[in-house]
Copies of this chain bind each other. A is one copy, B any other.
Amino acid sequence: MFYQKLLPFIQSSTKRTYKRSQSIYMEGEEPQSLYLVKSGLIGLYHISESGKETFLRVFAKDSIFGHRSYFAQTPYHANAIALSESEIHIISKEQCNEICENHPDLLKELMKIISLELGEAEQRLAGLLDKSANTRIRESLVFLKLKYPQKVWTRKEVADFSGSTLETVTRVMTTLSNDGLIQKNGRDFKILDVDKILHYIDSAQG
């Protein structure tokens, strides 16, 4: 795996800790390094002038981030924010260059990662146009909670990820809970029936 191959470079790298809501980098800044998540959860957010927040990507243990801007050679197009207490390895530009020059296998691995990310982004782009908010919210609940079960996802985070609002997320969750498809525990929740959540007949689109 990618992370394994990267290990030798991490030995000599800086490690930093971030608390929830702390920013690792901000849109517009020049990329100076790559980041590797050692523990915790990082969210990549786009924030528009009007203040609308869009939750673009999640990074968990062993994921890298900051790679897009590094290779595009453009300023960051979004903000990286800790979603929970996180430890991050910071890989310097010099180390990155060394990797690129002398480790084509790692480069190819990175290529695969970014290709998958582009696929996901375009899939979501299309989904925003042909799926109802209700459907997107249900898919996001399943995706986020099954992939990162330890995290207590807020309604706002689900809303920003699904492209909706926290009020609408609340309403969908209330319905799902009443139908016994999820179980609410305080602010947290549990997925009870993945299939029914995803195949729920959405009156908005049959």
Contact = CB atoms under 8 A, between A and B. Distances in A.
Interface of A: 46, 48, 50, 52, 54, 56, 67-74, 77-78, 100-101, 104, 107-108, 110-112, 114-119, 121-126, 128-131, 163, 205
Contact of A115 (B68, B107, B130): B68
A77 to B, nearest CB: 5
A126 B54 CA distance: 6
B77 A116 contact: no
Contact of A112 (B73, B77, B130): B73
A205 to B, nearest CB: 7
Within the oligomer, what is the number of copies of this chain?
2
Contacts of A67: 115
Contacts of A126: 46, 48, 52, 54, 56
Secondary structure type dominating chain A contacts = helix
A127 to B, nearest CB: 8
Name, among A70, A108, A122, A130, the residue most crowded by chain B CB atoms within 10 Å (CB to CB).
A122
A113 to B, nearest CB: 9
A70 B112 CA distance: 9
A134 B163 CA distance: 18
A68 B113 CA distance: 10
Contact of A52 (B71, B74, B107, B130): B130
A108 to B, nearest CB: 6
Contact of A118 (B48, B107, B118): B118
Contacts of A115: 67-72, 114
Contacts of A72: 112, 115-116, 118-119
A111 B110 contact: yes
